[in-house]
Amino acid sequence: MSGLAGRLLPAGLLRRQTYTVGGAIVLVLAIVLIYLAGFTSVFAVKKVTVSGLHRLTQRTVLAAARVPMGKQLARLKIKPIHNRIAALPGVARVDVRRAWPNAVRIVVTERTGVALLDRSGAYWLIDADAVAFQRLSAPERGLPRLAADPTGKAKPAAKAALHVAADLPAWLRVRTITISAATPDSVTLALTKGRTVHWGGATQDAEKARVLAALLKQSGTVYDVSSPKVVAVR
């Protein structure tokens, strides 16, 4: 037994040798993975998925993205792809990610049109951020038309009209033909059936809409909800 014990390695040395071998294996595996990911086609781009589209087409997004097919995912530059898609007029936000082992995933959040803007006879969809992002061949039903352009260095009155347009509930938006404002505190809605609503400023919009829903049940052509606690119908 004493001879056999002498030939056995000390426990500490045996553990160190085991750790050394294990570390070497891990290092080799890491090097192999790095090589496969960065220098071969094993983890190269073979597929691009696009989701979240409503108005935009997949073809438009892919054309803007210009994802290099066959490029190693590890070497793929995500930011330029993101920036090219984000520059599309109809895009509010975009998320671009690697989807291992062979895909790129693009999730688009589109701008939402809250009103129509008439520019020299051409209608444009405009969102709550005052971005006119899509030209239409004809006015879109269910969206009010703004009497003044709220984009760029617009007057505060035009901005107020857009703010109200963005806050209108769906039932009222589809009944609103135009939204105008001579001043920020005098927003006016022209509704269907020849009705007019004096909305006032772009404040308490939810309360004004709630009050107006009840007032519209009464006969009249002019409805004043500029002060939702003191309303009038005539």
Residue 67's CATH number:
3.10.20.310
Domain interval for residue 57: 47-110
The listed range with the strongest mean pLDDT (6-10, 59-63, 120-124, 153-157) is 59-63
Residue 138's CATH number:
3.40.50.10960
| Terminal-to-terminal C-alpha distance of the chain | 113
pLDDT above 70 for 19: no
Q: Two tokens at 53?
A: 């589209």
**DSSP assignment of 41-81:** STTB--EEEEE--SSS-HHHHHHHH---TT-BGGG--HHHH
Task: Please tell me the pTM assigned to this model.
Answer: 0.78
Residues 219 and 185 in one domain: yes
Residues 122 and 228 in one domain: yes
Find, among 231, 156, 169, 174, the residue nearest to 197 by Cα: 231
pLDDT above 80 for 10: no
Last residue in a domain, options 79, 110, 141: 110
Average pLDDT over residues 165-176: 97
Average pLDDT over residues 80-94: 97
How many other β-carbons are positioned within 10 Å of the β-carbon of residue 187? 27
Task: Say which residue the tokens 């097919």 belong to.
Answer: 69
pLDDT above 80 for 209: yes
Helix (H, G, I), strand (E, B) or coil at 29: helix
DSSP E strands in 100-221: the ranges are 103-110, 115-119, 122-126, 132-136, 145-146, 176-181, 187-191, 196-200
